Structure 1
Amino acid sequence: MADISRKQPRPGPADPSGPSSLSGTSVTSGADRLILDPGLLGGDGPVGLITNFTGVRRDLRPIAGGLLEAGIELTSLFGPEHGLLGTAQAGFVEAGDHDPVTGLPLYDTYRTTPEQQDQLIEKSGVSTLLFDLQDIGVRYYTYIWTMFDLMQAAGRAGRRFVVLDRPNPLTGLVSAGPLLEPGQESFIGRVPIPLRHGLTVGELADQLNRTAVADRLGQPIDLDVITADGWSRELWYDETGWAWVPPSPNIPTLDTAICYAGTGLFEGTNLTEGRGTTRPFETLGAPFCDHRLADAVTERGLPGVLVRATSFVPTFHKFVDQTCHGVALHVIDREAFDPLRTSLVIMEVAGELYPEFGVREDGDTGIDIPGARGFALDKLWGSPALREAIAARSPLEPLLPPSTHPTAWIATPDLLRY
């Protein structure tokens, strides 16, 4: 794989990718670097861009227009879950087959089969696929699996794949949670990686290319990564100088993303994860809960977070228009806060207090091909272990492996570019 991470043109003061008043740090995304220096792309022929509303420049203008202005032969767009504009809720996409801004044809990739993906690439006529979506560092967030699927499609079609790298919002220092076990593959986890992976999308693409992609296709694909200049592994997203763009409708803030790295597991239970409230994934509860949940969780002395009793009425999703009671999470020290441990403790306490607490029943998981069967919690956790422990009312914290540095699970340390 070509390494073009050292080609780092420095933006001048008038460049939208230059230093920002939001932070003393100046990070230039892979997309902004390519717009400033189109020669970084190399190769010839039409280019397709896998992107959505998160694919923006430092000044928040969409990168598609910037690539066209830079003279790159961009001819097609490919959209993931939530659609190009981000108006669709989880599990859905938008209608429309053209970008209303650039007029470029738009191909929907969500919930498509490998055969359909091959057809989309052939129909588009592109020779290179660019990937620019803002990931949030968690295995069950679907953008990385859109990347994985289309990497394979590019390999089958003999096309080049280029990742325009962006920071991991949760830093790049921590990997946490179990690996996905065989038999639990879905669109929220195609191959064994930790629940919190600790990589940028460019690093993850390299890891997948050397392992799962090479195993499935017989060899790695033609992959390049244009790195994000100025990012280092200890930086949280709000230390990069970039404004936060909600990467999906229910991740409105960085605090939400931090909590989601654990509380996303509640999607597989019969407690609401707070969809339909103003603080999804920071608000958890059900009609059968009460103030005792917050009191008991607080007594466990979890680091970095305050737990407040709350009542709320979801406007959609679980328990729509019903009064729920539960907990609101207030992260006060994100370095000390462990979203996975916190989530397991809340589940454990809920199991002690409420006989009604359990997991979503076996059925259409809503997280892969429509009609796919299985327990959603098994797909989220990566094995049946958490579901079985909840059913047995066993302690849950022992299920959580120790957090590590990403070098503990990746193929080789030279994957890390920052």
Structure 2
Amino acid sequence: MIYLRLVFESFRFAWQALRSNLLRTILSLLGVTIGIFAIISVFTIVDSLEKSIRQSMSFVGERIVYIQKWPWIFEGGNDIPWWKYMQRPSATVREYNFLNQNLENDEGVALVARRGSNTFKHGSNSMSGIMLQGVTQDFNKVAEVPIEEGRYFTQQETDGSRNVIIIGAEVAQNLFPNGSALGGDIRIQGQKFTVIGIMEKQGAGLFEGMPTNDKNAYTTFGAFGKMFASGQRGIEPNIMIKGRADDEGLQNLEYEVRGKMRTIRGLKPYEEDNFAVNRSEMMADAIGKMFSIIGLAGWVIGGFSILVGGFGIANIMFVSVKERTNIIGIQKSLGAKNFFILFQFLFESVFLSLIGGGVGILLVSLITLIPMGTLEIFLSAGNILLGLGVSVVIGVLSGIIPAVIASHLDPVIAIRSK
């Protein structure tokens, strides 16, 4: 009960300080409000941007290893041997079959070939700018294919290179505006394809031009090869391999893939790799590093405001100790311990800081109501707790010295003061 009374008394004194010196208190808390607003708003926007970017780049996949000619990250600065990468062989069906049969640290292997800017036709309707991908049977184990209507390819369809296709929601809406696209025919490069599946609507991404499932389509790898040449003089396919969840950083899978690829390509021990093993985590790490720098900038900007606010709260507490010296003497003469006086002023400082921080968080929450187009701003519970936590720390640091001074006042001298 004594601790509850202590908290209540501290809150009452803090509220009295606010009411009696409203302008002074508001100006003192303004620094904390601005500081918390700056830090939490930066983190909120960073979290929203990062989430939106990751969703826009969901086509890269999670825990995926790509076998390609070109690496995603180059080493060596300006001394990049472009001619070496140009001369590297492309991935082949033979290599895909070898990896599919011999890998142990994977959850699925797929061979994928892509071609953008395709035109699909159905009757008098046509649509351009569609990404068409030719995939092998296990592609749905490697990447997500969110089918809303219909089904995925059967083994017989992929083995027989049949002209079947899965299309995005926007493709289905444009080509079949008056009914369902399931079972309908689409013409691509003069060849007829039967629609067996329609994917869920994904919506626009953060960046214009980013591939989305809405303007995407999948067909069997063999059917894709009937229309477009592949290999060194055509479209270069990629081998995608899904790693296991227990393989941290996909290190085991990457080592195994390198060994298998060197074996099938007959590379000698002294020869360097003539392929690149790219991991989707590379892009995620790059995004994380970029936003960590932005977050650090938010701490620096908000830190100066919080520092000013901390001095403002400390000033309020010194004045409060001065004004209540007589009351402190009476409390001590009636048996109040030093820790009671200490925590009374410390809690008051924390309450004042929390009020300033709470206003800052409230302002951030108002930002989330502003429409930002495709960017959805959200204030997470973690950022709210961070703002409140920083406010508590500032309150403790700002009030500890005035609280210690108040707790060590001599009761006789304090009672005589006016």
Question: TM-score normalised by the shorter chain: which range applies?
Answer: under 0.3
Structure with more contact order per residue of length (Cα contacts < 8 Å, sep ≥ 6):
2
Greater Cα radius of gyration, structure 1 or 2:
2
